[in-house]
Chain A
Amino acid sequence: MACSRRAWIAATLGTTAGLVPGCAPRDLPPAGTLLSPNVVAGHWIRDGRLDATRSGGRARRAAVVIVGGGIAGLSTAWRLRRAGFDDFILLELESQPGGTSRAGRQGRQAYPWGAHYVPVPMQENAALIHLLEEMQVVVGRRADGQPVVAETQLCRDPQERVFVEGRWQEGLYPALGAADQDLAELERFRQHMDSWAGRHGEDGRRAFAIPLAHSSRDPRFLALDRMTMGDWLRKHAYRSPRLRWLVDYACRDDYGLSVEDTSAWAGLFYFVSRIRLPGQPSQAVITWPEGNGRIVQHLTDRAGPAVHTGWAVHGITQSRSGGAEVRALHTTDRTAAHWQAEQVVYAGPQFAAPHVIDGFDRQRSADFRYGSWIVSNVHLRKRPPEPGFPMCWDNVIYGSRSLGYVNAAHQTGRDHGSTVLSWYYPLASLPGPVARRRMLAADWQDLAALTVTDLQLPHPNIAGQIERLDVMRWGHAMVQPRAGFVWSRQRRAAAQALGRVHFANTDLSGVALMEEAFYHGIRAAEEVLAARGHPFESMLTFVPHDC
């Protein structure tokens, strides 16, 4: 019985296209837990059922209240402090800041629960370079002004490999067994992307730039947003199944969406925005064992005592007399509290904004869609023996619906013995609400079995090496850059402040990336500083009137 249920879960979530996993593996990991963001608090906010056990008492005061301690909210805090402005607090619902960039740790091994890398920013992304300099990740400048990243902060070689035709091969593209036409198409695609990297719009801006707000608004380019990446591939006669897989992989990897749903603008953005000049390789990758948890830690340390965790903000009301009230409930002891603020930065997601901000028109964020992800951290006693190219940072399985895994020990230099593999699985093909429901219906055993079955493909003996397997279910993991959304009027207007309430979150860009969350965090902070008349020199090299 359990078996048929499991088979059903396996079939709906599924791992490998083509291979039907029969019953779950007999040998489930000996230990593990099922995690998710604080769903209960999320429901309090959504349903407005707030039964505080103790009343809030007197209002506390802070000039600025930041709601949400993901990368965006923490970046706002960081920017305020860098400007010498300290009169703020940050309220985070979870017991730990970081949002989808948070990390875990067991013993000496840290590992990511979500975001795990940042490409080296280009010179134009001055704000991010300031942060990375402060973190001693960027350690200098080249003669041409581009940042120099410390060797130990870059992803160690070998970076990535793919499991294809029964063995591991270096790189992401499954070259083993590829026909000449496949390789020719790959080459054509590479040149195509390369030529895009050199293109600028009528407005003189790069076609695809990071942060996305720096991209050209040339209508010829924005028109790409109206078709899907799948359409784009067909339009340009890309037929090779392997190339299609590569592009689909890229869309699922960065956006959690299949190639048939992803906006072509976003699809090209993934490939092109990281190539600085035609003929150059993509920007190198910065990563740490705990992934972007390293950035979270740094920002949290900088914000210091301003960060208050465990506070679910359920109301933000602006009064006519000036000022705003922020109401929150503590998630463990259920005490209520409220703050009087002059400015509020709402750094939570758009889909929750109508439930939190009084007077927020539901229509304002009606088109924002979010996908679900499953992330499993698989603790191994020792590395599995395997044929072909040795273990890399990123390890991808050709033909699987998962994205493979990242080896958390890679950056530490420990190449033997225990490690943690962070396995990523976007629910890419189902509509968001359906995917969320199915994912939440699954129990730990189901999701552990899903993970192990997928890992067994390249590592038949892995089950015996697993010490524990923890699973995170991200219900609203990422905003989805579906065709038509990225350059929609709604998305472009979403970052505009509502009176004293400013907005910061990666979803305002329509794509979920560290750089985007950071950009909106900085932008919101500078809006606040400007509104208060606090002196500062902008870190942003370009502020468009839409975002």
Chain B
Amino acid sequence: MNRAPLLLLYLNVLVIATCGLIYELLAGTLASYLLGDSVTQFSLVIGVYLSALGVGAWLSRYVETALARTFIEVELALALLGGLSAPFLFLVFAWIEWFQTALFSVVFLIGVLVGLELPLLMRILKEHLDFSELVSRVLTFDYIGALLASLMFPILLVPQLGLMRTSLLFGILNALVALWGTYLLRPILKDRGLAALRGRAMLTVGILAVGMIKADTLTTIAEERMLAQPIVFTEQSRFQRIVVTKSSRGFQLHLNGHLQFNSADEYRYHEALVHPALSTGPPPQHVLVLGGGDALAVREVLKYPSVRSVTLVDIDPAMTDLAMNFPPLVELNEDALRDPRVQVINRDAFVWIGETPRRFDTVVIDFPDPGTFSVGKLYTTAFFRQLRTRMTDESRLSIQCTSPLVAPKSYWCILKTMRASGFEPQPYSVSVPTFGVWGFAYATVQPDQRVPSQLAELEGPLRFLTTEGLRAMFHLPSDIAPVPTELNQLNNQILVRYYEQEWSAADGL
């Protein structure tokens, strides 16, 4: 071979090295993304990958004939395997018990193939160069490739393309190099089967290209796998990813992958959330609903004929739009947001509560669980104290407080925090099939040890709650006993930390 193809072969080394490292980074990122604990996951992936490189190199000694052809075959296999690795891993994540096995098998196989490549290539080049020069040149390009990959990956690829497309793109690159190799190494390739080899290379490029085009659909399928239901609506709003799925039992709303309600049993949750506060004391007139952009709590509030205004504060206009315009949800919330008494405010409740001059006689809080700091601040003494100033001495409040069974510290922390902020909270719980046992609190601002005991006269029917049922919710089961916790304050968002610990421990079960 003359000089030009030699240089081209080095270029080959460069691409191979880049692709190899990209696949490894992808697997590591995916593992830490899906499994958490990135340090362990990354180290494990790197460990497996490096040892597989060794295995590959060792295997290369058994390739005795048809060096060039084997080299190209290996590259094609790598293109397919590496290119499809991210989509594949996304899809298998649904079967969590298999995920780690799948992950490490993929990483190992990729490592073996990459490990095979270099020795093969070196042997092909050996004919044309003296050994030390060969080693130094190949290794140089190998390291440059690695550097390129590690720079491009975080700066360019992940932010611009995402994991799925990055994986597919490098698969394509890998396959193209293989195809190109069939021309470059033409002098040392046998004629027989050459066309078939090229055909397979093109097929590989084709498969991966289709994957590239369909990457969005793949993401959806992967999400469906994770959510285990067909998706009927998705939107990435400024604040969250909204997904609606459908099953034989109705439809489900997920925010950032967390189930918010199932239409089949949400009435249990929303009746339990709303009626204790609205049925007790003087008839409610001016009601504040915080969070709950799905308008299902508002639906319950509107069953009280005495209500003159409902103010719904939800940060995400995409969510309240969905509640107004997405037919299944409009049907479920009985078009509550178009009721003339309802005013929708799309603001961060934390900021809004500090600015509004209005006062409310009844407040219903339906924020998401305190899984992030930006939601956790809505459960702090600072927030509750500010809210207290927007209520009268006769006002009543009810609030959802996550599961007291799964997350007892989180649950009791919320109650303790409310007590320290001028409220008198009473715990209660109810069973919602989709969620299990769910916790709430009912609170007054005057010391009042009585709990709600009588349902008010309503305009609309209730499906779940009866007066006996209302009383029963306030009988605390023995397995939901108070536990000592700290106060949740803005400068010490202990609740977010409790919540994270308790739910990740529960998910690990």
By a beta-carbon cutoff of 8 Å, the part of chain A in contact with chain B is 151-152, 154-159, 166-167, 176-177, 284, 382, 385, 387, 390, 412-417, 456, 460-461
Kindly list chain B residues whose C-beta atoms are within 8 Å of the C-beta of A390. Answer: 372-374
Please tell me if the beta carbons of B350 and A156 are within 8 angstroms of each other in the complex: no
State whether the Cβ of B262 lies closer than 8 Å to any Cβ in chain A. Answer: no
B452-509 interface (Cβ within 8 A of A): 489-493, 496
By a beta-carbon cutoff of 8 Å, the part of chain B in contact with chain A is 38-39, 154-156, 158-159, 238-239, 315, 348, 350-351, 354, 372-374, 377, 380-382, 489-493, 496
A460 and B39 contact, Cβ closer than 8 Å, known pairs A156-B490, A157-B491, A416-B239 = no
Please tell me if the beta carbons of A158 and B38 are within 8 angstroms of each other in the complex: no
Q: Tell me the smallest distance from the CB of A156 to a CB of chain B, in Å.
A: 5
Complex: A412 Cα to B347 Cα, angstroms = 13
Kindly list chain A residues whose C-beta atoms are within 8 Å of the C-beta of B348. Answer: 413-416
Please tell me if the beta carbons of A416 and B315 are within 8 angstroms of each other in the complex: yes
A151 and B159 contact, Cβ closer than 8 Å, known pairs A390-B373, A413-B351, A416-B374 = no
Report whether over half of chain A's contact residues are helix, strand or loop; otherwise say mixed: loop
Q: Tell me the smallest distance from the CB of A22 to a CB of chain B, in Å.
A: 12
Q: What 6 pairs between A and B have smallest CB-CB spacing?
A: A415-B374, A154-B491, A413-B350, A157-B493, A166-B154, A151-B382
Kindly list chain B residues whose C-beta atoms are within 8 Å of the C-beta of A456. Answer: 155
CB-nearest residue of chain A to B421: A151
Please tell me if the beta carbons of A460 and B159 are within 8 angstroms of each other in the complex: yes
CB-nearest residue of chain B to A384: B159
CB-nearest residue of chain B to A167: B38
A157 and B238 contact, Cβ closer than 8 Å, known pairs A166-B154, A415-B374, A416-B374 = no
Please tell me if the beta carbons of A412 and B351 are within 8 angstroms of each other in the complex: yes
Q: How many A-B pairs with Cβ below 8 Å?
A: 61
Complex: A329 Cα to B238 Cα, angstroms = 52
Chain A to chain B contacts (Cβ below 8 Å), 28 pairs: A151-B380, A151-B490, A151-B491, A154-B490, A154-B491, A155-B491, A156-B377, A157-B489, A157-B491, A157-B492, A157-B493, A158-B493, A166-B154, A167-B38, A176-B38, A284-B491, A385-B159, A390-B372, A390-B373, A413-B350, A413-B351, A413-B377, A415-B373, A415-B374, A416-B239, A417-B238, A460-B155, A460-B159
Q: Most chain-B CB neighbours within 10 Å: which of A382, A413, A416?
A: A413
Complex: A151 Cα to B492 Cα, angstroms = 10
Complex: A456 Cα to B156 Cα, angstroms = 11
Q: Most chain-A CB neighbours within 10 Å: which of B159, B377, B496?
A: B159
Kindly list chain A residues whose C-beta atoms are within 8 Å of the C-beta of B158. Answer: 387
CB-nearest residue of chain A to B375: A415
CB-nearest residue of chain A to B348: A414
Complex: A284 Cα to B348 Cα, angstroms = 26
Complex: A412 Cα to B348 Cα, angstroms = 11
Kindly list chain A residues whose C-beta atoms are within 8 Å of the C-beta of B38. Answer: 167, 176
Kindly list chain B residues whose C-beta atoms are within 8 Å of the C-beta of A158. Answer: 373, 493
Please tell me if the beta carbons of A460 and B238 are within 8 angstroms of each other in the complex: no
Contacts A390-B374, A456-B155 known; 5 new A-B pairs at CB < 8 A: A154-B491, A156-B491, A157-B491, A157-B493, A177-B39
Please tell me if the beta carbons of A460 and B156 are within 8 angstroms of each other in the complex: yes
Kindly list chain B residues whose C-beta atoms are within 8 Å of the C-beta of A155. Answer: 491
Kindly list chain A residues whose C-beta atoms are within 8 Å of the C-beta of B372. Answer: 390
Q: Most chain-A CB neighbours within 10 Å: which of B156, B348, B493?
A: B348
Complex: A156 Cα to B350 Cα, angstroms = 13
CB-nearest residue of chain A to B33: A387
Complex: A385 Cα to B155 Cα, angstroms = 13
Q: Most chain-B CB neighbours within 10 Å: which of A156, A382, A456?
A: A156
Complex: A395 Cα to B235 Cα, angstroms = 30
Kindly list chain B residues whose C-beta atoms are within 8 Å of the C-beta of A166. Answer: 154
Complex: A151 Cα to B382 Cα, angstroms = 6
Among B373, B382, B493, contact of A152 (Cβ-Cβ < 8 Å): B382
Complex: A414 Cα to B347 Cα, angstroms = 9
Please tell me if the beta carbons of A157 and B374 are within 8 angstroms of each other in the complex: no
Kindly list chain A residues whose C-beta atoms are within 8 Å of the C-beta of B377. Answer: 156, 413, 415
Kindly list chain B residues whose C-beta atoms are within 8 Å of the C-beta of A387. Answer: 158
Complex: A154 Cα to B154 Cα, angstroms = 34
Among B154, B238, B381, B491, contact of A382 (Cβ-Cβ < 8 Å): B238
Among B39, B154, B354, B373, contact of A157 (Cβ-Cβ < 8 Å): B373
Kindly list chain B residues whose C-beta atoms are within 8 Å of the C-beta of A415. Answer: 348, 373-374, 377
